[in-house]
Chains A and B, each alone.
Chain A
């Protein structure tokens, strides 16, 4: 306990002295975290400096082993670091699918050479990763991927198309699944490979969404190349690796929809808006049906946050989360959608603005956020796929 207190003291004084003043108090801005790599925009002028000084201590990825650029911190130490960052409202120095998805999978499946080559570049923020999973004909049926990997000796020639690749236009490397055997059951012919996107024949095209934003891209491969030493796992054994990565992705998504939001702040925002747009009568919201929906969402959020906390407390007690974490994906995303639907009802006709005069900035943003939220129950494994996982892997319901 004494060592932990010492650790806290040293973290606190180091952050107070060394962290850029310009970033203190910025943690609540969702766009404040830097994604690294060669193409990401800097959220703030000091973002890169902040990332580098944290990376030097291994604290961009505090719990990874030090030999790969991580901080080697225990869970307890990491918690202290998080708390001290929160105390100064400092944004985390770096995020990205390197840290949340491919990194943990390389730690799990990678060779020593792969770990030594890839992990330090994730920790330092040098490389930004994207995920080459979905294809036009491989959405929920992901194992149906048709991108071909053709053996050319010490590598593969890759042809095909990925889609719904988040931030494909801002990434440097891609982890992808493609087909190396066309004769066997579809899951048995898949290889998981890591590829440099900076080569001729890789073309990235952003997809415009119903919200007007373009966070996703189509990625085309026209006879591009990846080295065999960059296979993760073994040739034709990529499906298992891909599913393990999805487990890490689910945890990340649960984190996004679960613990990083401040329920108190959200609730205040709902109440403030309802008071502003609808008004109170005798201390009660004047529209009783909206009042009831508001309570239902707030209560469900409370239950959800408590369940996230219970899951966390269980992990601390030594129980690793299993397939039941699909629940967090389903429930968290549905709650997010319900919250936006309710916001629309609260704003009434003012929620219809798309752009230009006559609407407040927040009103216009709400419209876009509502539209974007409809994708939450589709991306990262649809709710229906997650329900399948719970039914089969948690409840043990039979396939026939």
Chain B
């Protein structure tokens, strides 16, 4: 693998950054947060992203996509992360879209994929439960077999993009115990189905997440993605994909917040000099620079490792997520500290990045989870 951007990727990078600068300045994040009527994102902006083909990048051409790679996707995600754009690309396009693309369920593919790519519909994936932490097999939601299909009962927490979604893909136990790697089945459930109730959850990062409750929800067999009891396999594959894209977003966020911090260090005057002339701050800034450079290498390698299906692909994903989690938190904690009092105020953007860093860290496994996963892959 070559760890440089191709000419096409450089152009994609430039156009993505230009779009985000225009359509999604960081201040928009605050407006969406403070507007009780909003979804937490802007559907019009999401549709513009679709017009730029960002939502089609990862889908093969025969499914209406661009047939491009993860290396291209992370370029776009970096721009999105830099602007803290909250549109649910990862929830609807990566998680739900890719699950449907891998579902081997032609009917669902025909019914949903084009709508997801064109952002006519938003679909969320309800895989996480309270106290389940990062183990996708830790599922109490059950699916009971009936003559006509299945009856679903359970509760899913912090479903990304779930508020206002047209459908949710639910992981439910169809055999064995919670915690077993086999026995999970994935069901596509339209949100207007009887027994589905969705409540908006308000998180520190103000993103769109929802509590999804299922009470005797009847789902037909035709709505199963993949095979019965084997849903965990495609779910973990798709979460790996989503993890790489999230790493791209985190890389964009940490780079942007660091740039903002550097600007502040060069402008803020105390003791008659710019605070950036103080060696104690210079050395810390240099350390953050190194951590971000290493994160960039890890993200580029994870994306290319995925595209090229190398033996190390899974290990590289864990390297990237652990590294991005630590580096983003370092960059944002230091951003607040170096901004001093103003860093604690809501009007300054660095706090928004700090909240995003924390939410991103705890999505798809934190650094500790991925270190454990890495050690297991390496056999110790």
Interface, chain A (partner B; CB < 8 A)? 267, 271, 274-275, 280, 283-285, 291-292, 294-296, 298-300, 302-304, 306-307, 309-310, 313-314, 316-317, 324, 327, 330-331, 384, 387-388, 390-392, 394-400
CA distance A298 to B372 in the complex (A): 12
CB-CB < 8 A to B379: which residues of A?
Answer: 271, 283
Residues of A within 8 A of B301 (CB): 302, 306
Q: Bound state CA distance, A283 and B380, in angstroms? A: 6
Contacts of A284 in B (CB 8 A): 375-376, 380
Distance A211 CA – B218 CA, assembled complex (angstroms): 73
A291 touches B375 (CB 8 A): yes
- What B residues does A300 contact at CB under 8 A? 294
Evaluate whether A299 and B380 lie within 8 angstroms (CB atoms) in the complex, with A384-B283, A396-B266, A398-B277 already known.
no
> Which residues of A have CB within 8 Å of B286?
387-388, 390-391, 394-395
| Sample (21) of A-B pairs whose CB atoms are under 8 Å apart | A271-B378, A274-B380, A283-B379, A283-B380, A284-B376, A291-B375, A296-B371, A302-B301, A302-B315, A304-B294, A310-B296, A387-B286, A388-B286, A390-B290, A392-B282, A394-B286, A397-B265, A397-B277, A397-B281, A398-B273, A400-B277
B253 at interface, CB cutoff 8 A: no
Contact of A292 among B283, B318, B371 (CB under 8 A): B371
Contacts of B372 in A (CB 8 A): 295
Dominant secondary structure at the A interface: helix
Q: How many A-B residue pairs have CB under 8 A?
A: 123
Q: Is the CB of A298 within 8 A of B289?
A: no
Q: Is the C-beta of B4 less than 8 angstroms from some C-beta in chain A?
A: yes
Check: B323 CB closer than 8 A to any chain A CB. yes
Residues of A within 8 A of B368 (CB): 292
Q: Which residues of A contact B2 (CB under 8 A)?
A: 313
B240-258 residues at the A interface, CB under 8 angstroms: none
Query: In the complex, what distance in Å separates the CA atom of A300 from the CA atom of B323?
Result: 8
Is B177 close to A, CB under 8 A?
no
A384 and B380 alpha carbons, distance in the complex (Å): 35
CB contacts (< 8 Å) of A302 on chain B: these are 298, 301, 315-316, 319
Question: Does B380 contact A303, Cβ atoms closer than 8 Å?
Answer: no
Residue of A nearest to B266 (CB): A398
What residue of chain B has the Cβ atom nearest to residue A391's Cβ?
B282
Q: In the bound complex, do residue B297 and residue A307 qualify as a contact, i.e. CB atoms below 8 Å apart? A: yes
Kindly report which residue of chain B lies nearest to residue A330, judged by CB atoms: B290
Q: Which 8 interchain pairs have the tightest Cβ spacing? A: A391-B282, A306-B297, A310-B3, A390-B286, A303-B294, A307-B297, A295-B371, A397-B276
Across the interface, name the chain A residue whose C-beta is closest to B274. A398
List, in ascending order, chain B residues with CB within 8 A of A303's CB: 294-295, 297-298, 319, 323
Q: How far is the CB of B264 from chain A (nearest CB, A)?
A: 11
Q: Counting CB contacts under 8 A, is B96 at the interface?
A: no
Could you say which of B3, B266, B315, B323 contacts A309, with CB atoms under 8 Å apart?
B3
CA–CA, A280 to B274, complex, Å?
53
B84 touches A (CB below 8 Å)? no
Inside 8 A of B134's CB, which chain A residues have their CB? none
Within 8 Å of chain A (Cβ to Cβ): is B322? yes
B32 interface residue (CB < 8 Å to A): no
Q: How far is the CB of A257 from chain B (nearest CB, A)?
A: 14
Q: Given known contacts A306-B297, A390-B289, A397-B282, is B319 in contact with A299 (CB within 8 Å)?
A: yes
Bound-state CA distance A387–B368 (Å) is 28
